[in-house]
Amino acid sequence: MSENNTTQDVAAMQKENCIFCKIIDGEIPSKKIFEDELCLATLDINPASEGHIILLPKEHYHIMPLVPDETISHLFNIAQKLSLTLLRGLSMQGTTTFIANGAAAGQKAPHFMIHIIPRLENDGLFKIPKNHISKEDLLISQKKIKGRINLLFGLKEKSENQKKIDENNDVQKTKIKETDSEKTNDELNELNNLINDKEEKNELNKEKKPNIENENKEEKKNANLDDIANLFG
Ligand SMILES: [Zn+2]
């Protein structure tokens, strides 16, 4: 049996035992909100708040990277409309759109889904922690992620020389913000060495860093989604 067949067999077995596939097929009843050829939205039976919707692709996909581009685009389009519906229909003040992608992220069932959760001010749901991260570590993360995303989209990688020039510029900008004192090349070299050291250490130690990607979003949480909803007429 080829490796490909084994993978397909595992997927078929998962689908066989998947309660969300049974909901989609109508074998298990649910409180349907919306359905089309690609997706189904239903109320969550264990809601985080009133009106909590789960949006499922009709095909069985375990995790987000397995969902085809066309389907993921469609799902987010529908998620946007469902979010607007919650704001209007339940007079909510906001929505959190949430995906648990993989077991480490808290994914319980092997069927990809998008949660659309109605929010009220001070409802106490989803406090995103703020973790401290140094500016040097931010630069390292930026470099690693940018490299990967460029590869994924087939964008041309910069030459090594250009990378060093950009890196120095980034470090210089960071340090100018920190202090008004005169900068020297020695300082920049020292910082670059520190970045290289940390990068080597990170390569050896693959442990995940604290998740800080949403740190800045916390600051913007007071944006009035009702105003945004009004744009849709
Ligand atoms: Zn399924």
Q: What is the pLDDT of residue 211?
A: 45
Q: What is the dihedral of CA 137, 138, 139, 144, to 10 degrees?
A: 90
pLDDT in tens, 74-122: 999 999 999 999 999 999 999 999 999 999 999 999 999 999 999 999 9
Q: What is the pLDDT of residue 93?
A: 94
Q: What is the pLDDT of residue 162?
A: 67
**What separation in Å is there between the alpha carbon of 86 and the centre of ligand 1?**
25
CA distance 69 to 204: 34
**What separation in Å is there between the alpha carbon of 212 and the centre of ligand 1?**
31
**What separation in Å is there between the alpha carbon of 25 and the centre of ligand 1?**
10
- What average pLDDT does range 131-140 have in this prediction? 94
Distances, alpha carbon 68 to alpha carbons 61, 65, 75, 76, 204, in Å: 9, 8, 11, 13, 33
**What separation in Å is there between the alpha carbon of 39 and the centre of ligand 1?**
12
As a three-state string, the secondary structure of 98-160 is ECCCCHHHCCCCCCCCEEEEEECCCCCCCCCCCCCCCHHHHHHHHHHHHHHHHHHCCCCCCCH
Q: What is the pLDDT of residue 157?
A: 63
Which tokens hold the place of 73? 């685009």
**What separation in Å is there between the alpha carbon of 117 and the centre of ligand 1?**
21
- What average pLDDT does range 49-60 have in this prediction? 96
Return the domain boundaries, the chain. 3-128+213-230, 135-204
CA distance 41 to 35: 6
The arrangement of strands across the sheet holding 32-35 comes to: 32-35, 39-43, 53-57, 114-119, 94-98
- What average pLDDT does range 168-179 have in this prediction? 61
pLDDT at 180 over 60: no
**What separation in Å is there between the alpha carbon of 43 and the centre of ligand 1?**
16
pLDDT in tens, 206-233: 444 444 444 444 433 334 444 444 444 3
Which of helix, strand or coil describes residue 2? coil
Q: Which residues of 178-216 are buried (b: 16+ CB within 10 A; e: fewer)?
A: eeeeeeeeeebeebbeebeeeeeeeeeeeeeeeebeeee
**What separation in Å is there between the alpha carbon of 24 and the centre of ligand 1?**
8
pLDDT at 173 over 70: no
CATH 3.30.428.10 is right for the domain spanning 3-128+213-230: yes
**What separation in Å is there between the alpha carbon of 10 and the centre of ligand 1?**
12
